Amino acid sequence: MPFSYVTGSCVALVPVLLLLSSLQPSSEAGRVLVYPVDGSHWLNMRILVEALHTQGHQVTILRSSTSWYVAEHSPHYTSITVPQSQPQNIESQDFMADFLKRSLEIQRGEGSPWAFLQFCGNLFIYRYTPKAGLTEPKPHSSPKQSN
């Protein structure tokens, strides 16, 4: 197949593609459902939600009744509040205080490598079990030396 034949076919399609693209609307607003995580994630997400609202999107936020950051009423979104009897882990002030205290201890080098690994394990468990808590590291006993 000669090159000029292929090029000529592509050039012939340009008017057809331009006609088809002019028949489609340039943009449409949509509905967006957001399920944010309380905390710094929400602070960043709020900027995106406001931008979506200014572009004409209808934004709905799912929020827990114990949420610290996500306001129930806003001009930028409608909210659906999910009732909860107690805060989720990340919303618990006790959890956050303990989490920050332990993080600072580890960053200052006051914690042992074992305490750091246990802390990471607790965070993993905490993520998948809503009522789990961070535990204090147990003293690490060294193996007895044999003579």
pTM: predicted TM-score of the whole model, two decimal places: 0.45
Q: Give the tens place of pLDDT for each residue, 12-21.
A: 677 776 776 6
- Tell me whether strands 58-64 and 31-34 are parallel, antiparallel or unpaired: parallel
Q: Find the helix or strand (DSSP H, E) in which 60 lies.
A: strand 58-64
Is 110:119 a contact under the CB 8 Å cutoff? no
The pLDDT of residue 143: 47
Q: Give the tens place of pLDDT for each residue, 20-35.
A: 667 766 666 788 888 8
Cα separation of 62 and 126, whole Å?
Answer: 22
Q: Where are the domains of the chain?
A: 27-85, 89-128
